[in-house]
Structures are given as structure tokens and as C-alpha cells.
Amino acid sequence: EDQVTQSPEALRLQEGESSSLNCSYTVSGLRGLFWYRQDPGKGPEFLFTLYSAGEEKEKERLKATLTKKESFLHITAPKPEDSATYLCAVQANAGNMLTFGGGTRLMVKP
């Protein structure tokens, strides 16, 4: 059974204080690992897809990395508008659905 665990559950940062969110996973053959951002009252929005260990993707202040067992979402010099819940999900080679972690709620204070 595919499993995804995200940590921490919640993270409070000061504006400009860089940090990382963790996503640990077990999957029977990884097709893709996905990061989403979810704002209150809205549906999750796609950020990145990572396909193989060693791969990295960047978008503005966010960088996602992937190993064989976990993924990190690095946030560099965050701003208050980066406050959101970040979701990680995996898709197995044999499947057509995603398994989600519980999310990390990020709060960035000015």
C-alpha cells in the first residue's frame, strides 16, 4: 500500500527565514511525486512533478527535490503570501490515482 507522510504538520516562519518541508513516501514503483499548494477555501493548485531521484524543480522561492525515500520542498526567504497548506502526493507506476499526505500548514509572519 502506498503511503505518504508529511512533516511538520505546521510550521511558523518569520519573513525571510528559510526552511524545508518533508515528504516521506513508500510506493510500489514511483511514476511521479507531486507538490500542491492549497489556500483556505480553495482547491489544491499544482506546483511541481518530480519523476526520479536526484531531480530538482524550482519556481520563485520554492525548490522541490527528490530522493528514493523522500522529497523536500525548500522555501527560500519566504514572504507572507507563501502562507498556505502544502500537499505532497505520489502516483505509482501501476495506478491512475494519487495518494496524498496530510499536508504541512505554513504560516509566514511579516
Partner 1 sequence: DAGITQSPRHKVTETGTPVTLRCHQTENHRYMYWYRQDPGHGLRLIHYSYGVKDTDKGEVSDGYSVSRSKTEDFLLTLESATSSQTSVYFCATLNAGNYGYTFGSGTRLTVV
> Which residues would be at the binding site for partner 1 (CB under 8 A)?
31-32, 34, 36, 41-46, 49, 87, 89, 91, 96-98, 100-103
Nearer to partner 1, 32 or 61 (CB): 32
Residue among 14 and 96 whose Cβ is closer to partner 1:
96
Tell the smallest beta-carbon distance from residue 54 to partner 1 (Å).
Answer: 18
DSSP 2-33: -EEEEE-SEEEEETT--EEEEEEEE-SSEEEE
